[in-house]
Amino acid sequence: MSAQPENTTPETRTVEGDTRRQIMLMLLKLAPVTASDLADRLDMSAAGVRRHLDILVAEGLAETLDRRVRSTGTAAAPRGRPAKAFRLTDQGRSQFGHSYDQLAAEALELLRETGGEEAVRRLAAQRIARIVEGVTPAGEDEDSIQQTAGELADAFDRAGYAATVTRAGSGIQICHHHCPVAHVAAEHPELCEVEHQLISDLVGVHVQPLASISGGHGICTTNIPLTPIEKLPEERSGS
């Protein structure tokens, strides 16, 4: 009878994923550690552990290094023998998450308590100013506004916002497909408000926030109408 193909049902893949997660957790706690040590602790075969470790290494989640393991034979071999040990890479460690969002939220809350809302706004303004540093302020014509909007999208894109800019009807839309501070901005909307104000200052027209990731949408959208800001009579007269 011919051999049957290996069963790779969703249940099998789930069990394999759970096992690999256990191995990663042991690497996080014990590294550097050998495959045989992991096998003993997890009550698995060394071959089975090595198979998972090979996959983790191939995916960039773990790496190997030589660890000097002392010989268990006689005292005549003090230098021991080299053994391949494993540890997580930075990418592997990142799979267990970070508390940066919570730390940032707590820091901003403390800043609000000690310096008030204006202190939070100043911090937010400094952060956005660094992101858009070098963007050319727009003139009064549409081409200039579109140029500045494009520069803004490029600046946000470099900062990790996965930003795009598109023409939409009688305006331009800057879209953020990712927000690095979404969780913090949900608790501190000043971050978004200051960003919109700075965009408005640079393009020279009032902008319209249409959607935000922090507000539960899948994208942040800021609409830039191609209409210059109307100045008050006293501003036009210079009084």
Is pLDDT at 187 greater than 50 in this prediction? Answer: yes
Reference 119, options 194, 62, 43; nearest CA is 194
pLDDT of residue 97: 67
Where residue 171 falls among pLDDT bands split at 50, 70, 90?
A: very high
Locate the domains of the chain by residue range. 15-69+79-95, 99-225
**Number of other CB atoms surrounding residue 216 within 10 Å:** 9
Where residue 150 falls among pLDDT bands split at 50, 70, 90?
A: very high
**Number of other CB atoms surrounding residue 237 within 10 Å:** 8
d(C-alpha 177, C-alpha 173), whole Å: 12
pLDDT of residue 154: 96
Structural contact between residues 185 and 118, judged by C-beta atoms closer than 8 angstroms:
no
pTM above 0.95, yes or no: no
For the residues 177-197, what does the mean pLDDT come to?
92
Encode pLDDT of 189-235 as tens digits. Answer: 999 999 999 999 999 999 999 999 988 888 999 999 986 545 445 54
d(C-alpha 82, C-alpha 7), whole Å: 37
d(C-alpha 61, C-alpha 63), whole Å: 7
Domain spanning 15-69+79-95 has what CATH number?
1.10.10.10
Structural contact between residues 132 and 174, judged by C-beta atoms closer than 8 angstroms:
no
Encode pLDDT of 48-106 as tens digits. Answer: 999 999 999 999 999 998 765 443 333 333 455 567 899 998 888 878 866 677 888 89
d(C-alpha 202, C-alpha 179), whole Å: 21
- Does 99-225 match 15-69+79-95 at the fold level? no
Reference 176, options 147, 154, 148; nearest CA is 154
Distances (CA, A) of 22 to 38, 100, 140, 223: 10, 24, 60, 47
d(C-alpha 146, C-alpha 173), whole Å: 10
pLDDT of residue 166: 93
The torsion region of residue 23 among left (phi > 0), alpha (psi -120 to 50) and beta comes to alpha
Reference 105, options 190, 180, 184, 194; nearest CA is 184
For the residues 23-40, what does the mean pLDDT come to?
92
The DSSP annotation for 21-67 comes to: HHHHHHHHHH-SEEHHHHHHHHT--HHHHHHHHHHHHHTTSEEEEEE
Is pLDDT at 5 greater than 50 in this prediction? Answer: no
pLDDT of residue 134: 97
- Quote the mean pLDDT of the chain: 84
Phi, psi of 40 (to 5 degrees): -65, -45
- In sequence order, what are the beta bridge partners of 171? 168, 225
Structural contact between residues 224 and 201, judged by C-beta atoms closer than 8 angstroms:
no
Q: Which CATH topology does 99-225 take? A: Muramoyl-pentapeptide Carboxypeptidase; domain 2 (3.30.1380)
Percent of the chain with pLDDT over 90: 59
